[in-house]
């Protein structure tokens, strides 16, 4: 019975995914899948925040920066021509080793760009290093100072990207090639690959949900919850709180970067707004709306809200909506609306099913 | 062999000297009590030993290794566990999970292994659960395993915190006023429990106000007054020490001394 | 221009911007001292001051427009405190800060819809955009003198207010020991509202006086808030006067970074200052290490 309870959410999610796609096929609105796919990638960032904020209790108002570091690293590496460097310094085994890709450019000349898989690995390493560098001093700060430090960090990345020519300055980078994952799967923005890419995104989300859920229900998850609850007592029980906070921060950063890499190959480009404060604050709003600590709530709600936003349902009030959500949730139901909603629903159902019987004692 | 050696520890807060020239030892297998009127610096001493505070001067040795200046978690890993004056349970978890946190030190599967749920990890998780349950049975609260920690009465929270500290398999257990807030029956049970713990090989250092508990339980007593040690020895000796009696204005000690008369 | 003149030019530009950061930083400090909250919407007060003044300037002479803007935004600040922070005082400080960030986004978007995305500005208080005054070899606009003068007068008046008037002293009492303040009959909630209103008024005034130089547009609030916060932290949180120095330093640093780095990077200079201060010396230049703890341990 326990096992069924664990598998049920995954099964429901899988059903919902397939149902959504089939509905769209039937109503001939399959192009909506594009926005849904993008929302799923954004949800991965929020899942990382769920772990960091909901479980370890640390705040980050700059997670868009990690999404951008991942996306920009892979975008730059897969679009920049390395011909000069590679022929002069490194031998010709780079291409057959699948680290670099030789292509013909528009003018018939040879270009050498990094292969997407290699670029992904570099992006992961880069994110790991930056997250360690920023996380180590930042996580020693108390709550609101940590918030400001992460906000400042996010803005620095935003400004750096806006200022760098190699990152395309205000225009960002375009023409990011598709990414062949292997086993016939290709991350690409081509409309013919739309359905496949939708399922790639869903698969990635499901996989990460599984891994994170395992983590949360384990000794590590308990340690994080202890740190969130009472850090001093957790420390006194032998938990290296600083190390755990840092590891969680780095993990959530790498999740955001992974989402960034996939997103960039899917949409074929990336822009400086991904590192902006508005995006980062939006991620926090989504984590809050999903119930900070609930992986499922966070994934579901953030996918839904981002989808509505991308479909243009919020019109020109897009940012305001997320600001309002943030204010309402944090002030009325900081643990997320799903819990009180769930309680209310349960009370309602129990009242309906108790029918004419008067309950004894408690309401 | 002295398990814990405290040498010349001094600590002040601004202008207030909380501890000065504090020197004592705790021998393996002892139950040692630190007593003294309010403000004598007992909890400060505990905080320094367990690493929550740093001493201004002096050294602390555990198993002949210096633990001065170490982080609390490092000291816990060395084998020193503690409880707090106000039970500091993790209120968002249930009782069993609280005790399971105590097993953290003795287990090792970390991020990667827990994400991927290797067979070794699931086995370890099972063993954590069993060990925690055993500790709860030890303190008589196994029936409350699934209860949210916040729903417990004060005395029960104490016991769960004790179970959690025991789950770390310490060599030295620091108990900060374990008897406060308990009624007579609970104090008796506590005393028996502490003796059982000592009989299993754990050394105990406790801070306590309740004289009857202290005199009954301890092998050795250290008396602090205004942060300075004024007497140390077996209960009978300390009870009759003039300095101690005058510091306590004679009240409590006369009562206990009287009850000793045949 | 020789190096000396160029340096002076940078310096003057730096203290001009810096004095605005100083005002924002003072606003941060006032609210922080009275409520413990870091009010991220501080920058929006500056933006609103400029916007309201520009609108009022269509119907009224400049001094009236500026006064009207200051009063309106001050009232808005008080309203903000009453509506949000009075009810929510039991929340953790972190929650409150996140709420102020949400508020700053909402205010920004409201400004976008109330006005529009166009850049606007007040007319120069004296002269126009080509008038300039020679100052030891550097050319500055007379508006710069208005900025420096206004901020200087404001700082002096604030200092006098906090030190020598009853409400001012009450505010200081509030921040250093709320329980004692309550015991002597100071109305803490009103003091908190006052701190919000005062911060908003200061911000609005700064927004009016800087408007001809930097222009006023709906997005200017957020970067100002962060740079103002960097200035407040650099001076040492809790010390409004040190915030002035912090603001000037940040402004000058930002200005001189133009000479070293490509112009696009100088926006990041203030943020780097922020991170450096938080990581290396969180209590700032004039805060005391044993004071309000910034680090966990």
> B176, B84 in Cβ contact below 8 A?
yes
- B125 in contact with chain A, both atoms CB, cutoff 8 A: yes
Position with higher pLDDT, C111 vs C131: C111
Which letter does DSSP use for residue A34 in this model? H
Of B6, A186, B241, A158, the closest CA to residue C226 belongs to: A158
Asked if pLDDT for residue A164 goes beyond 90, the answer is no
Of B226, B223, B228, the closest CA to residue B242 belongs to: B223
Locate A342 and state its tokens: 């769930």
- A234: helix, strand or coil: helix
Ranges of H-type helices in chain A? 2-26, 32-49, 64-79, 83-89, 116-138, 143-163, 194-216, 219-229, 231-236, 241-267, 277-289, 295-310, 318-332, 338-354
Per-residue confidence band for A216, with pLDDT thresholds at 50, 70 and 90: very high
The verdict on a CB contact (< 8 Å) between C275 and A61 is: no
- Cα A315 to Cα A127, A285, A326, A328, C254: the distances in Å are 33, 18, 18, 20, 36
What ipTM is given for this predicted complex?
Answer: 0.88
Asked if pLDDT for residue A10 goes beyond 80, the answer is yes
Name the neighbours of B, counting chains with at least 3 Cβ pairs within 8 A.
A
Across chain C, mean pLDDT equals 84
- A244 in contact with chain C, both atoms CB, cutoff 8 A: no
pLDDT recorded at residue B67: 93
User: In chain A, how many domains are there?
Assistant: 1
Report if residue A250 sits inside a domain.
yes
pLDDT recorded at residue C296: 42
CB atoms within 10 A of CB A111: 17
Q: List b or e across A38-57, with b for residues whose CB sees 16 or more CB atoms inside 10 angstroms.
A: bbbbbbbbbbbbbbbbbbbb
pLDDT recorded at residue A363: 39
Q: Provide residues of A within 8 Å CB-CB of chain B.
A: 211-212, 214-215, 218-223, 225-226, 228-230, 232-241, 247, 251
pLDDT recorded at residue A335: 67
% chain A with pLDDT above 90: 40
Report if residue C256 sits inside a domain.
no
Asked if pLDDT for residue A356 goes beyond 50, the answer is no
For range A313-339, the mean pLDDT: 82
Report if residue C133 sits inside a domain.
no
Q: Which residues contact A191 (CB under 8 A, 6 or more apart)?
A: A31
**Residue of chain C whose Cα is closest to the Cα of A320:** C106
Asked if pLDDT for residue A14 goes beyond 90, the answer is no
Asked if pLDDT for residue C297 goes beyond 70, the answer is no
Report if residue C28 sits inside a domain.
yes
For range B99-122, the mean pLDDT: 90
Per-residue confidence band for A233, with pLDDT thresholds at 50, 70 and 90: very high
**Residue of chain B whose Cα is closest to the Cα of A212:** B115
Q: Which domain holds residue C64?
A: 23-126+141-222
Position with higher pLDDT, C25 vs C127: C25
Closest Cβ–Cβ partner in A233, A238, A241 for B88:
A233
Residue C91 with chain A: CB contacts under 8 Å: 330-331, 334
Burial of A11 (0-12, 13-18, 19+ CB in 10 A): exposed
pLDDT recorded at residue A219: 93
- B210: helix, strand or coil: coil
pLDDT recorded at residue B239: 85
- A315 in contact with chain C, both atoms CB, cutoff 8 A: no
Strands B31-35 and B203-207, by their bridges, are parallel
User: In chain C, how many domains are there?
Assistant: 1
Considering just the CA atoms, what is the radius of gyration of chain B in Å? 19
Closest Cβ–Cβ partner in A221, A241, A251 for B73:
A241
Asked if pLDDT for residue B258 goes beyond 50, the answer is no
Q: Which residues contact A186 (CB under 8 A, 6 or more apart)?
A: A178, A179, A180, A193, A196
Bridge partners of residue A270, in order along the sequence: A173
Q: Which domain holds residue A204?
A: 2-277
pLDDT recorded at residue B163: 94
The verdict on a CB contact (< 8 Å) between B52 and A225 is: no
Per-residue confidence band for A23, with pLDDT thresholds at 50, 70 and 90: confident
Strands A269-270 and B57-62, by their bridges, are unpaired
pLDDT recorded at residue A360: 46
Q: Is the pTM of the predicted complex or chain greater than 0.80?
A: yes
């Amino acid at each position: 019975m326990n096992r069924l309870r664990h598998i049920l959410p995954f099964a429901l999610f899988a059903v919902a995914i397939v149902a959504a796609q089939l509905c769209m096929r039937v109503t001939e609105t399959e192009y909506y899948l594009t926005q849904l796919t993008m929302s799923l990638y954004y949800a991965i960032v929020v899942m990382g925040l769920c772990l960091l904020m909901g479980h370890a209790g640390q705040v980050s108002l700059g997670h868009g920066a990690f999404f951008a570091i991942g996306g920009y690293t892979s975008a730059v590496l897969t679009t920049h021509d390395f011909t000069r460097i590679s022929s002069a310094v490194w031998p010709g085994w780079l291409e057959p080793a699948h680290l670099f890709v030789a292509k013909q450019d528009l003018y018939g000349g040879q270009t050498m760009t990094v292969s997407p898989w290699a670029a992904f690995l570099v992006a992961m390493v880069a994110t790991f290093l930056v997250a360690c560098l920023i996380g180590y001093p930042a996580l020693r700060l108390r709550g609101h100072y940590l918030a400001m430090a992460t906000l400042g960090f996010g803005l620095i990345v935003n400004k750096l990207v806006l200022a760098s020519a190699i990152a395309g300055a205000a225009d960002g980078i375009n023409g990011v090639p598709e990414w062949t994952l292997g086993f016939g799967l290709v991350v690409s923005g081509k409309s013919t690959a739309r359905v496949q890419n939708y399922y790639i995104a869903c698969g990635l989300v499901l996989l990460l949900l599984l891994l994170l859920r395992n983590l949360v229900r384990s000794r590590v998850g308990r340690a994080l919850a202890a740190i969130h609850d009472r850090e001093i007592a957790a420390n006194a029980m032998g938990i290296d709180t600083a190390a755990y906070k840092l590891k969680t921060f780095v993990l959530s950063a790498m999740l955001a970067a992974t989402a960034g890499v996939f997103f960039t190959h899917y949409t074929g480009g990336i822009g400086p707004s991904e590192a902006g404060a508005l995006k980062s604050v939006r991620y926090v709003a989504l984590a809050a709306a999903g119930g900070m600590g609930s992986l499922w709530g966070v994934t579901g709600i953030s996918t839904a809200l981002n989808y509505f936003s991308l479909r243009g349902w919020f019109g020109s009030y897009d940012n305001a909506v997320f600001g309002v959500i943030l204010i309402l949730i944090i002030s009325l139901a900081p643990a997320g609306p799903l819990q009180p909603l769930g309680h209310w629903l349960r009370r309602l159902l129990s009242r309906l099913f108790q029918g004419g019987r008067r309950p004894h004692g408690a309401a | 062999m002295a398990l814990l050696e405290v040498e010349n520890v001094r600590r002040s807060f601004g202008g207030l000297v909380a501890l000065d020239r504090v020197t004592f030892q705790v021998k393996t297998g002892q139950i040692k009590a630190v007593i003294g009127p309010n403000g004598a610096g007992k909890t400060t001493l505990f905080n320094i030993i367990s690493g929550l505070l740093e001493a201004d001067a002096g050294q602390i040795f555990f198993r002949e290794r210096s633990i001065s200046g170490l982080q609390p978690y490092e000291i816990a890993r060395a084998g020193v566990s503690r409880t707090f004056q106000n039970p500091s349970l993790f209120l968002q978890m249930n009782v069993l999970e609280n005790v399971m946190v105590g097993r953290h030190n003795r287990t090792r599967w970390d991020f990667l292994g827990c994400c991927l749920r290797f067979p070794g990890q699931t086995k370890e998780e099972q063993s954590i659960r069993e060990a925690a349950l055993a500790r709860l049975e030890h303190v008589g609260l196994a029936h409350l395993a699934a209860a949210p920690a916040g729903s417990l009465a004060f005395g029960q929270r104490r016991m769960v915190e004790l179970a959690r500290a025991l789950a770390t398999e310490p060599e030295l257990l620091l108990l900060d006023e374990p008897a406060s807030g308990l009624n007579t029956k609970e104090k008796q049970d506590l005393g028996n429990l502490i003796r059982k713990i000592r009989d299993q090989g754990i050394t105990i250092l406790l801070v306590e106000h309740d004289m009857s508990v202290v005199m009954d339980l301890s092998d050795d007593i250290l008396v602090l007054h205004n942060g300075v040690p004024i007497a140390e020895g077996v209960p009978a000796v300390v009870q009759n020490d003039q300095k101690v009696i005058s510091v306590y204005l004679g009240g409590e000690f006369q009562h206990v001394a009287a009850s000793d008369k045949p | 221009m020789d190096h000396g003149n160029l340096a002076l030019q940078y310096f003057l530009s730096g203290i001009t911007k810096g004095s605005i950061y100083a005002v924002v930083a003072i606003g941060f400090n006032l609210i922080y001292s009275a409520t413990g909250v870091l009010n991220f919407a501080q920058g929006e007060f500056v933006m609103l001051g400029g916007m309201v003044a520009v609108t009022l300037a269509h119907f009224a002479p400049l001094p009236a427009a500026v006064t009207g803007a200051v009063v309106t935004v001050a009232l808005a600040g008080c309203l903000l405190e009453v509506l949000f922070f009075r009810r929510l005082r039991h929340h953790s400080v972190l929650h409150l800060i996140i709420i102020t960030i949400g508020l700053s986004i909402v205010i920004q978007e409201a400004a976008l819809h109330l006005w529009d995305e166009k850049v606007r500005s007040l007319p120069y208080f004296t002269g126009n955009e080509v008038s300039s005054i020679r100052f030891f070899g550097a050319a500055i606009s007379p508006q710069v003198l208005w900025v420096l003068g206004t901020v200087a007068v404001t700082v002096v008046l604030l200092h006098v207010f906090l030190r020598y008037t009853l409400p001012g002293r009450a505010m200081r009492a509030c921040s250093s020991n709320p329980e004692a303040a309550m015991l002597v009959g100071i109305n803490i909630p009103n003091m908190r509202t006052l701190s919000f209103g005062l911060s908003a008024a200061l911000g609005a005034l700064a927004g009016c006086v800087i408007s001809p130089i930097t222009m006023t547009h709906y997005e200017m609030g957020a970067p100002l808030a962060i740079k103002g916060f960097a200035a407040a932290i650099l001076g040492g949180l809790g010390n409004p006067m040190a915030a002035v120095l912090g603001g000037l330093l940040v402004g000058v640093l930002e200005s001189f970074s133009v000479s070293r780095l490509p112009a696009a990077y100088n926006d990041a200079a203030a943020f780097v200052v922020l991170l450096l201060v938080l990581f290396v010396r969180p209590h700032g230049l004039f805060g005391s290490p044993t004071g309000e703890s910034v680090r966990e341990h």
